[in-house]
Amino acid sequence: MKVLRSGLLVLTIAFFAAGCAKTVQPVTAPPVTTAAPASTAPTTSTAAAPAQTQLSPLDDPNNILYKKVVYFDFDKSNIKPEFLDLLTAHAKYLIANPNQKIRIEGYTDERGTWEYNIALGDRRAQSVRRFLLFQGVNPDQISTVSYGEAHAVCSEHNEGCWSQNRRAVLVYLNQ
Amino acid sequence: MWRKVLLIACLILFPFAAAQAALEITITHGVNTAAPVAIVPFAWQVQGPVPNTDVAAVIGADLTRSGRFKAIPDKSMLEKPSEASAINFTNWRILAVNDLVIGRIKPAGNANYQVEFQLFNVYTGQQLLGLSVLTTPQGLRWTAHKISDLIYQKLTGQRGAFATRIAYVEVSGKAGKDSHYALVVADSDGFNPQIVFQSNEPIMSPDWSPDGRYLAYVSFENQRPAIYIQDIYTGRRQLVSERRGINSAPVFSPDGKSLAVVLSSSPDNPDIYILNLAGRVLQRVTHSDAIDTEPVWSPDGQSLYFTSDRGGSPQIYKVNLHGGHPQRITFDGSYNARARISPDGHTLGMVHREAGQLHIAVMNLSTGALLTLTNGDLDKSPSFAPNGSMIIYEATYHNQGVLEEVSVDGQVHERLSESQAGVSVHMPVWGPFLSQ
């Protein structure tokens, strides 16, 4: 599929996101046709963006898709309830944009061994991946990598920093 | 008088780049029982300027670093003999020195040196050791470490591990993705650091081949983890694993023919595999849905110790490579990880978490008794010296990653501080005994 732009892109998202919200998707998403409907489609709050701008919803600070990081508790890899809406929105966006690919990067804080933290960061990335797949995202759109405690965003040795480092980041590869 | 002549042809590391930063050793906690020794400055009998390397000072620092000896300062010496005939043992007995080393450096042709040294028992006046070592000017410091090894072995009965190398990962730059990573090889005292590989993406988990020629490590240079083996003398790198998912924690088998690695390619869960390096045959060792990682070989190569959270929290397990279920080894506390085994196979070193802090601990494998050796907040990545006397590990000091060493009885503690601000040092691994 050619890269969709501006209003057309928004409409496409809205169309598929709306469709997705009404039907239960199998784990493997059905192929989505490349033809974008030109007609108006119902919009949803998660995917709606001002149609008159060039801004991708991924880059729009007012859109939930602008947020691409979820945080985890110490030693845990379960997705906390406050991030379910965010991940659901990303799932809808990915289903609506089957040419979009993401890499989920898993990270930990420093309070573990380097290699165990690679495994823990991977488990966090896999949690996010599994959630997106369950929402119906095509597995081919998702890759994962764990950096463990490397690439920490905050380098002080306290909980304020650690909580920022225990994260999974959704990186859109053709944003 | 000279029982044998040693030839030390020091292998020169492939000259990638000299690391800007160097490590400096501070003994943070010693023992009162350290035996006083005197290493008299060696006489310089070669035409030309005195070299930068003070052989006697290097030997004295090595022996002191072991925690078992304490070299007395030059200024307390009442005499500085360089020939046996010039020694007045009374002058050393009154300083309560047990052992005395004298030596001289002579020309040996082709700009090489002959380093002669003798070790005496001060109380009997008996010569315990007398050797002549042929070396190049560049090899002088390494020769000093070799002499330290010989003296240490003569006095303790245990082989010295001073003429060995360490490898570690240096991280510099800001937090986040602006960091720079360098894999560094240095002498065991932190001297002569050489960068063998560097990247703007993480480098992790270096491990030495049993012959000390190769390093296996993980590099994220392609935005995903891959395992490489690099010849530190030629610089040649070989990609050995870049499978989907995790490629982590490579460790050489005792015969150097295989790597134990952690992969998650099938299914999406980390398990331990053995990769035969000659045929690239992959053998799966663990099959759990839990995290299985951080493998390490038993010295006989018949089993692997590894970390698993199959029981709910990370603990050390042991699996026989010829079959049978993994057996849990550690039971004290809720987090025991990244085991390393002493060269004699009797002691397991590990990272032990207590009240949210990571310490280095050792476990006696016969009795199961656990001894916590360190009390830092974030002590990790333990690695045994090849003679089993010390463990090197990474710690945090003044908000910076540093290397520290602790004797396996927990008595002697020292810090190898990075001389450059903003550079953190991680994942040290002590190399094997070297044949030369």
Quick one: B104 and B213 in the same domain? Answer: no
Q: Do B335 and A112 touch (CB under 8 A)?
A: yes
Note whether residue A84 is domain-resident.
yes
Running DSSP on this structure, what letter comes out for residue A66?
Answer: G
Closest residue by Cα to residue B16 from B226, B218, B199, B217:
B199
Domain boundary among B156, B176, B204: B156
Quick one: B147 and B173 in the same domain? Answer: no
Quick one: B181 and B288 in the same domain? Answer: yes
Quick one: tokens of B309? 């959270």
Interface membership of A118 toward B (CB under 8 Å): yes
Interface membership of B293 toward A (CB under 8 Å): yes
CA–CA separation, B71 and B38 (whole Å):
5
Do B337 and B316 contact (CB within 8 A), yes or no?
Answer: yes
**pLDDT tens for each residue of A12-47:** 333 333 333 333 333 333 333 233 333 344 444 444
Quick one: B171 and B93 in the same domain? Answer: no
Instruction: Domain count for chain A, please give it.
Output: 1
Tell me the C-alpha to C-alpha distance, in Å, between residue A74 and each of A112, A129, A158, A167: 10, 20, 12, 10
Running DSSP on this structure, what letter comes out for residue B134?
Answer: E
* pLDDT of B419: 67
Note whether residue B12 is domain-resident.
no
Quick one: B150 and B172 in the same domain? Answer: no
Do B146 and B163 contact (CB within 8 A), yes or no?
Answer: yes
Tell me the C-alpha to C-alpha distance, in Å, between residue B354 and each of B332, B358, B368, B433: 10, 6, 18, 34
Quick one: tokens of B117? 């040294």
**pLDDT tens for each residue of B283-316:** 999 999 999 999 999 999 999 999 999 999 999 9
Do B41 and B80 contact (CB within 8 A), yes or no?
Answer: yes
Note whether residue B184 is domain-resident.
yes
Q: What is the extent of the structural domain holding B184?
A: 165-430
Domain boundary among B156, B182, B203: B156
CA–CA separation, A70 and B142 (whole Å):
51
Q: Count of residues for chain B?
A: 436
Note whether residue B436 is domain-resident.
no
Note whether residue B100 is domain-resident.
yes
Note whether residue A1 is domain-resident.
no
Quick one: tokens of B129? 């050791």
Q: Report CA dihedral (B182, B414, B359, A155) to the nearest 10 degrees.
A: -40
The CATH number for B345's domain is 2.120.10.30
- At which residue do the structure tokens 């045959």 appear? B281
Quick one: B135 and B194 in the same domain? Answer: no
Residues of A in contact with B224 (CB under 8 A): 145
Query: What is the number of other CB atoms lying within 10 angstroms of the CB of residue B172?
Result: 18
Instruction: Domain count for chain B, please give it.
Output: 2
Does residue B313 sit in helix, strand or coil?
coil
How high is the ipTM of this complex? 0.92
| Residue B176 Cα, gap to closest chain A Cα (Å) | 4
Task: For residue B175, give the nearest of A116, A126, A153 by CB distance.
Answer: A153
Quick one: B69 and B132 in the same domain? Answer: yes
* Cβ within 8 Å of residue B191, ≥6 positions away: B22, B23, B141
* pLDDT of A53: 58
**pLDDT tens for each residue of B46-63:** 998 999 999 999 999 999
Note whether residue B316 is domain-resident.
yes
* pLDDT of A22: 32
**pLDDT tens for each residue of B215-273:** 999 999 999 999 999 999 999 999 999 999 999 999 999 999 999 999 997 778 999 99
Residues of B in contact with A164 (CB under 8 A): none
CA–CA separation, B170 and B186 (whole Å):
12
Instruction: Give the burial string for B118-128 (b: 16+ CB within 10 Å, else e).
Output: bbbebeeeeee
CA–CA separation, A6 and B307 (whole Å):
50
At residue A6 the predicted structure's pLDDT band, cuts being 50, 70 and 90, is very low
Running DSSP on this structure, what letter comes out for residue B374?
Answer: -
Note whether residue A35 is domain-resident.
no
The CATH number for A157's domain is 3.30.1330.60
Give contacts of A 55-114 with B, CB under 8 A: 103, 110-114
Quick one: tokens of A145? 């990598």
* pLDDT of B290: 95
Note whether residue A36 is domain-resident.
no
Task: For residue A114, give the nearest of B223, B270, B427 by CB distance.
Answer: B427
Q: What is the extent of the structural domain holding A150?
A: 6-30+44-172
**pLDDT tens for each residue of B100-153:** 999 999 999 888 999 999 999 999 999 999 999 999 999 999 999 999 999 999
Residues of A in contact with B170 (CB under 8 A): none
CA–CA separation, B263 and B201 (whole Å):
20
Cα atoms found within 13 Å of the Cα of residue A103, Cβ hemisphere only: 13
Q: Which residues pair with B107 in a beta bridge?
A: B113
Quick one: B385 and B322 in the same domain? Answer: yes
* Cβ within 8 Å of residue B145, ≥6 positions away: B58, B62, B162, B163, B164, B187, B188, B189
Interface membership of B426 toward A (CB under 8 Å): yes
The CATH number for B138's domain is 3.40.50.10070
Distance of CA B70 to the CA centre of its chain: 21
